[in-house]
Amino acid sequence: AQTVTQSQPEMSVQEAETVTLSCTYDTSESDYYLFWYKQPPSRQMILVIRQEAYKQQNATENRFSVNFQKAAKSFSLKISDSQLGDAAMYFCAYKDFGNEKLTFGTGTRLTIIP
Amino acid sequence: DGGITQSPKYLFRKEGQNVTLSCEQNLNHDAMYWYRQDPGQGLRLIYYSQIVNDFQKGDIAEGYSVSREKKESFPLTVTSAQKNPTAFYLCASSPYERGSGNIQYFGAGTRLSVL
């Protein structure tokens, strides 16, 4: 079974600085998708970024980018120019190519220090 | 506005009682999902449905039941067999296309507590 591990339960960063959240996963599949979701205090899950495993290029969305290392099974999220609105729980998630199921990590709580 | 609506926002269950959580979407998505979130844990899949009148068990289906009579609706019933129902429940939907990384969009959730 696939597993997703987020080893940092909590992180903090100064406003306007850069922070990296870690995620590792375990799978025997070669085709899959990886996601980062954000859960703010409202508790609604919001997609931050998606990466297809067959793409070597790292995905980026404005201030958010990933470092996808397929051989190492690592998928970290970098947030540049951190803003107060970035404070949230961040979840890493995995999905097989032929499976609709998302497997989530346990999350990292990110605090932004003004 | 298109989106996913979950109701109620808060729900209380008495011992031995079944309760139903509502999830409605107007995104014309084929697939719908129910997740449970407990403190310190990620989301765990309860049930999912890829088309009307069909659904599959997820990782923690025991004590729960679902129906999918309409494309836009996927209600979840927490039965009396679920001995630890206190949790935050999230509904999601996605367009269904096998083999694609279809993004799941989430509702605002329902907090269920036991009286």
Question: B17 to chain A, minimum CA–CA distance in Å?
Answer: 26
CB count within 10 Å of CB B25 equals 22
- Are A106 and B40 in contact (CB < 8 Å)? yes
pLDDT of residue A3: 92
**Does the pLDDT of residue A99 top 80, yes or no?**
no
pLDDT tens-place string over residues B84-105: 999 999 999 998 766 556 789 9
- Are A100 and B41 in contact (CB < 8 Å)? no
pLDDT tens-place string over residues B12-26: 988 889 999 999 999
- Are A101 and B101 in contact (CB < 8 Å)? no
Helix/strand/coil for B66: strand
Chain A within 8 Å of B92 (Cβ-Cβ)?
A: yes
Answer yes or no: are the C-beta atoms of A21 and A77 closer than 8 Å: yes
Answer yes or no: are the C-beta atoms of B53 and B69 closer than 8 Å: yes
Answer yes or no: are the C-beta atoms of A23 and A2 closer than 8 Å: no
pLDDT tens-place string over residues A31-82: 899 999 999 998 999 999 999 998 889 999 999 999 999 999 999 999 999 9
Cβ contacts of A28-33, under 8 Å, gap ≥ 24? A29/A2, A29/A96, A29/A97, A31/A96, A31/A97, A32/A94, A32/A95, A32/A96, A32/A97, A33/A94, A33/A95, A33/A97, A33/B101
Q: Which of A34, A22, A38 is nearest to A86 (CA)?
A: A38
Helix/strand/coil for A84: helix
* Cα four-point dihedral sign B6, B11, B14, B15: positive
Here the tokens at position B12 are 């209380």
Helix/strand/coil for A85: helix
Question: A83 to chain B, minimum CA–CA distance in Å?
Answer: 23
Q: Which residues on chain B are in Cβ contact (under 8 Å) with A4?
A: 42
Helix/strand/coil for B73: strand
Query: What type of residue sits at position B63?
Result: G
Q: Which residues pair with A20 in a beta bridge?
A: A78
The closest CB to that of A104, out of B43, B88, B94, belongs to: B43
Give the percent of chain A with pLDDT over 90: 84
